[in-house]
Amino acid sequence: MQPALRQSEEMALVVEITQADLLPDLITNLERSGCVAERLAAAACRVRDLGAANYAEARLELAFFVRAWQLGHPGVDAVISE
């Protein structure tokens, strides 16, 4: 396996949202996008396989995705962390 690919696959970010009941919907949407998303806590999930070249790009694209998802769920706040 190429080092860059391994790094991409191992890269993970955590998304925490303010409405726990919407976490399954967020996870489903992330999985439809080819990511692996696993529940970490009632309102948080870890997202892997983002396909990005580095953490900065992964965070940027995940943030864009979460913002777009929030459009359909107004009032939900989110925090992304490593």
Partner 1 sequence: MRRLKVLIADDHQLMIHAIRLALEDNDDIEIVAEADSGSKVLPLIGQTSPDLVLLDMRMPGMDGLKVLERVRERYPKVRVAILSAVDDPSVIQAAFHRGASAYIVKHIDPRDLAAAIRQAIAGAVFQPLGLIERAADTAAREADLSKRELTILQALQSGRSNKQIAGELFLAEQTVKFHLTNIYRKLGVNSRTEAVRYAYEHGLADRLAYEVA
Task: Kindly give, in sequence order, each residue whose CB lies less than 8 Å from that of residue 82, ignoring residues fewer than 6 positions away.
Answer: 12, 13, 14, 55
Q: Which of 5, 21, 56, 74 binds partner 1 (CB under 8 A)?
A: 56
Q: Which of 1, 10, 32, 82 binds partner 1 (CB under 8 A)?
A: 32
- Residues 12-31 close enough to bind partner 1 by CB under 8 A: 29-30
Size of the residue set binding partner 1 (CB under 8 A)? 29
If one asks whether residue 67 binds partner 1 (CB under 8 A), the answer comes out as yes
Cα distance between residue 13 and residue 82, in whole Å: 5
Q: Where are the alpha helices (DSSP H) in the chain?
A: 3-10, 23-32, 55-71
If one asks whether residue 60 binds partner 1 (CB under 8 A), the answer comes out as yes
